């Protein structure tokens, strides 16, 4: 079993999900008292979020690169960045370590392609929805990506940072997300990417009439695949 190096804390709410999902998946596959070999380095999200807001992505990449180096020195065989947004600096992080990084968008693209879906709606932070670092990675595989309009993007982002990252789950926010999802479906989306690792705390499969691709679960399962691969 390879050792999974988890860069967490962005937010710790979803990092806790990663830890649980990874261990449950290992136990399901191997049985008995088996659990995952993993290292979790949880950063201070206040610092990272400040760099995001300031557009200081290079500084954020330096912090996460240092974290990745610490995990590598600690014995990790590969890295899992427990957030979608910070894959914006994945190349900066990769340049500082020798072990591979399991990219969340790549794992998600595989699931979408296996579902034979051509067009998806993307929900996430405003950075993930508006910038190209994530969408372009999916589009390179032939997947068409659409996002909500500007007002909805702002509202979706606000709910992530002001509620979900703080562990606050409100029915009115779930209803709002359902409305946004329905709008994406009416625009041709055949599936919806929950492209922020906290959204799965709020939105469940029964909240949409098309498949939901929960990136937290997909990434966690692919981490187990990589860990158990001979």
By annotation, the residues acting in catalysis are: 83, 196
CA–CA dist 181, 152 (Å, integer): 10
**Interhelix angle for 132-139 vs 104-114, to 10°?**
40
Token reading at 193: 């990417």
With beta carbons less than 8 A apart as the criterion, state whether 99 and 77 touch.
yes
| Residue with the two structure tokens 């996430």 | 124
CA–CA dist 72, 130 (Å, integer): 32
CA–CA dist 71, 138 (Å, integer): 28
């Amino acid at each position: 079993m390879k050792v999974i190096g988890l860069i967490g804390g962005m937010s710790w709410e979803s990092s806790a999900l990663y830890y649980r999902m990874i261990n449950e998946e290992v136990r399901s596959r191997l049985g008995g008292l088996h659990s995952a070999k993993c290292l979790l380095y949880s950063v201070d999200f206040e610092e990272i979020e400040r760099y995001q807001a300031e557009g200081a992505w290079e500084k954020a990449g330096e912090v996460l690169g240092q974290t990745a180096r610490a995990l590598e020195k600690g014995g990790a065989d590969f890295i899992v960045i427990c957030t979608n947004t910070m894959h914006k600096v994945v190349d900066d992080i990769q340049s500082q370590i020798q072990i591979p990084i399991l990219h969340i968008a790549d794992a998600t693209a595989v699931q979408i392609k296996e579902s034979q879906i051509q067009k998806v709606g993307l929900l996430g932070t405003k950075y993930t929805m508006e910038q190209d670092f994530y969408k372009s990675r999916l589009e390179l595989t032939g997947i068409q990506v659409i996002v909500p309009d500007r007002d909805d993007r702002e509202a979706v982002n606000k709910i992530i940072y002001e509620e979900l990252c703080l562990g606050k789950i409100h029915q009115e926010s779930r209803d709002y997300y359902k409305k946004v999802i329905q709008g994406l479906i009416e625009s041709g989306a055949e599936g919806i990417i929950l492209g922020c690792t906290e959204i799965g705390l709020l939105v469940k499969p029964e909240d949409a009439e098309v498949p939901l691709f929960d990136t937290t679960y997909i990434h966690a399962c692919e981490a187990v695949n990589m860990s158990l691969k001979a």
